[in-house]
Structure 1
């Protein structure tokens, strides 16, 4: 993987407090330890769960769209000042696109919402435990 792509994927981690990243990493390690020695069926169920887990980007986009729409509806029904809510959401999304961070990211990270890279790390360790890569190792 190229360095620039790797750095782009780690933007959220880079802008998250180290204690949050450490807690998420520890949670991944504990999950992997819990599934070590599990049957392929149990591992497959957990991998399926990980395929459905929302990453931080999806959570941020859903939250932003919901709050922006709420601001629009409230501005139409009650007071035009509610448009500032939608404007704030747009500013946060722009900040996230440019810097990889915005205030809601801190809240989501503290709630344990992970990046796609963190989800993938757990998933691929579980796939290795399930034996998915044995054929690749044998052909090397």
Structure 2
């Protein structure tokens, strides 16, 4: 899998997990969803994403 596919997978899992935790434990878990959304928006505007940098350092191919 490429960096872009890993990024979409990780973001989707984080959003689903935070919604599940918000429903079952505390509404405050939605802050994680907001953080993921904000990070995706900032990466679209600046063309830089910290998770992509981390994935590349871990050896995931472009």
Q: Same-fold call, TM > 0.5?
A: yes
* Cα RMSD for the two superposed structures: 1.0
The residue that corresponds to 2:11 in the other structure is 64
Distance in 2, Cα, partners of 1:57 & 1:96: 12
The residue that corresponds to 2:40 in the other structure is 93
Mind listing any 5+ residue stretches in structure 2 that lack a counterpart? none
Distance in 1, Cα, partners of 2:52 & 2:4: 9
The residue that corresponds to 2:27 in the other structure is 80
Distance in 2, Cα, partners of 1:70 & 1:106: 23
Which is higher, the Rg of structure 1 or of structure 2? 1
Distance in 2, Cα, partners of 1:56 & 1:98: 18
TM-score with structure 1 setting the length = 0.42
Question: Which stretches of structure 1, 4 residues or longer, exceed 3 Å deviation after superposition?
Answer: none
Deviations 1:34-58 (A, max 9, x none): xxxxxxxxxxxxxxxxxxxx11111
The residue that corresponds to 1:103 in the other structure is 50
Secondary structure in 1 matching 2:59: coil
